[in-house]
Amino acid sequence: MTAPLLSVENLRVSFPTPAGRADVVKGLSFDLGRERLGIVGESGSGKSMTGRAILRLIRRPGHQSADRMMFDGLDLTTLSEREMRKLRGARISMIMQDPKFSLNPVMTVGDQIAEALRTHERLARKDVGARVIEMLHSVRINEPERVVRLFPHEVSGGMGQRIMIAMMLIPQPDLLIADEPTSALDVSVQAQVLDLIDELVRNKGMALILISHDLNLVARYCDRILVMHSGKVVESCAAKDLHEATHPYTRGLLAAVPRMEETRDELPVLDRSAWSGT
């Protein structure tokens, strides 16, 4: 087997508390090939901090460390901040939950996507314009010639998220980290956006880390799943085997989700005392 695209060993993220530094990611290790990895868990379990730590985006007073964090032969733990900036967006991109916070409110949609492209590639101006329109087409935005002139507040949530995806994918990164990319969207738009990410990831042979609190969603869109609980991976399995998960925490989460054909009179609840409680 060839070396994995990303290899993480003993990743830790901590924050200061009145009682000393507390780890919120507690020694996470995993390898990622050109595959779709889901990270799932309840809020506060450390999913977002894991995603951000891969890009070395943990802000003070937070602190991160790892025994090893290799990305395609590059040692992410020793790269300079300048080299990290070059890597972000160009080779590893991140889509956040709410496009409103990730898009620049005073720049048109077209200018933002063009900027994302230009920071990573030298292109003639007219080629940039054409690539932007082409990218908006591929994220299924109608009338891209009109949309490039709009400001973020003039587009709907679903369209804003598609614009984010266009911006993140136009430099053709090797790894896309999507942190709850559709949690702020309607179910009908959610499926469209995820199908779109899925198609682009497959076509371009990219790797995907999909972070979500939604077990069924990661099972649908990933190959492999890590289940996180209070900073640790409690279970790792193939997505198709999620429903045969063995860890009591995973089983508890799965059982708590209502089903389309619900026959239970009561939903089983987690015995929080068993896992130190959240």
Partner 1 sequence: MSAISLKNLDISYQSKKVVRDVTFDVAEGESFALVGESGSGKSTVLKAIAGLAPDWTGEISILGQARSHKVDRDVATRCQMVFQDPYGSLHPRKSVDTVLSEPLLIHGLGNRNSRVIDMLAAVGLDQRFRFRFPHQLSGGQRQRVAIARALMLEPKVMLLDEPTSALDVSVQAEILNLLKRLRREQGLSYLMVTHNLPVVSFMCDRMAVMNKGRIVEIAPASALHDGSFTDPYSQSLYAASGGNPDRKEMA
Ligand X SMILES: Nc1ncnc2c1ncn2[C@@H]1O[C@H](COP(=O)(O)OP(=O)(O)O)[C@@H](O)[C@H]1O
How far out from the chain centre does Cα 156 lie? Answer: 21
- In the complex, least distance from residue 230 CB atom to partner 1, rounded to whole angstroms: 13
Q: Does 49 help bind ligand X (rule: CB under 6 A)?
A: yes
Q: Does 42 help bind partner 1 (rule: CB under 8 A)?
A: yes
- Window contacting ligand X (CB under 6 A); options: 46-54, 102-110, 198-206, 266-274: 46-54
Please give the Cα distance from 226 to 243 (Å, whole number).
13
Q: Does 162 help bind ligand X (rule: CB under 6 A)?
A: no
**Any bridge partners for residue 39, and if so which?**
211, 226
Q: Does 192 help bind ligand X (rule: CB under 6 A)?
A: no
- In the complex, least distance from residue 216 CB atom to partner 1, rounded to whole angstroms: 7
**Any bridge partners for residue 56, and if so which?**
none
Closer to partner 1 at the Cβ: 4 or 248? 248
Q: Does 190 help bind partner 1 (rule: CB under 8 A)?
A: yes
Closer to Mg ion at the Cβ: 48 or 102? 48
Are the C-beta atoms of 250 and 40 separated by less than 8 Å?
Answer: no
Pick what 1 binds: Mg ion, ligand X, partner 1, none; C-beta below 5 to 8 Å, kind-dependent.
none
Residues 113-172 contacting partner 1, CB under 8 A: 157
Residues 16-55 contacting Mg ion, CB under 5 A: 48
Residues 91-110 contacting ligand X, CB under 6 A: none
Closer to partner 1 at the Cβ: 44 or 129? 44
Please give the Cα distance from 264 to 89 (Å, whole number).
46
| Dihedral angle, C-alpha 29, 34, 38, 44, nearest 10 ° | 50
Q: Does 257 help bind partner 1 (rule: CB under 8 A)?
A: yes
Amino acid at residue number 61: P
Please give the Cα distance from 268 to 278 (Å, whole number).
17
Please give the Cα distance from 45 to 212 (Å, whole number).
11
Q: How many positions of this chain bind partner 1 (CB under 8 A)?
A: 30
Residue matched to tokens 């614009």: 163
How far out from the chain centre does Cα 8 lie? Answer: 16
CA-CA-CA-CA torsion sign (182, 185, 186, 192): negative
Binding interface with Mg ion (CB under 5 A):
48
Binding interface with partner 1 (CB under 8 A):
42-43, 157, 186-192, 213, 215-216, 220, 252-253, 256-262, 264-270
Binding interface with ligand X (CB under 6 A):
15, 24, 41, 43-49, 62
